[in-house]
Amino acid sequence: MSFVTFVVNNSGVIGTTLRHAREERPVANELILIIEDNEKNRKLVRDVLQVKGYKTIESETAEEGLRLAAEQSPALILMDIQLPGMDGITAMKQLKADPNTKSIPIIAITASAMTHNRTTMLAEGFDGYQTKPISLKDFLGEIDRVLKARSK
């Protein structure tokens, strides 16, 4: 009992214990490709992912995203649906049709919850679905879920 009291009262020991607990959490160092034409949305997603330990690469168009996906083989792609040239659904279908990229999971990120929903987007071929503006907890939870489903 006196030992427990000593540990609790010693800030150095408490600090060591907390550091150890943090190190035991899995490190999310995987590469995520963000395809999003809106700069503010792209920055928000990039910042959130980097804080969580993910590495990120980005493109503003589907066309550039297809090139990056083939070149960098990211662990996951976050695909905006409304893009300036090719749209996100068409881009996803091209990625899924290409043997080099078909195993990369893709989460649809859409602002239009009225025209798209989780059921229709998963039926199109997406592996996950999130609406904008993103809810951090749901967003990170969906990324974690899709990455775990991939590794099974």
Specify whether the CB–CB gap between 97 and 81 falls below 8 A.
no
Binding piece for Mn ion, criterion CB under 5 A, among 9-17, 25-33, 75-83, 85-93 = 75-83
Span 22-51, contacts to Mn ion by CB under 5 A = 37
**Per CB under 5 A, does 80 bind Mn ion?**
yes
**Per CB under 5 A, does 82 bind Mn ion?**
yes
Size of the site for Mn ion (CB under 5 A): 3
Minimum distance from CB of 106 to Mn ion (Å)?
15
Query: Which residues bind to Mn ion, rule: CB under 5 A?
Result: 37, 80, 82
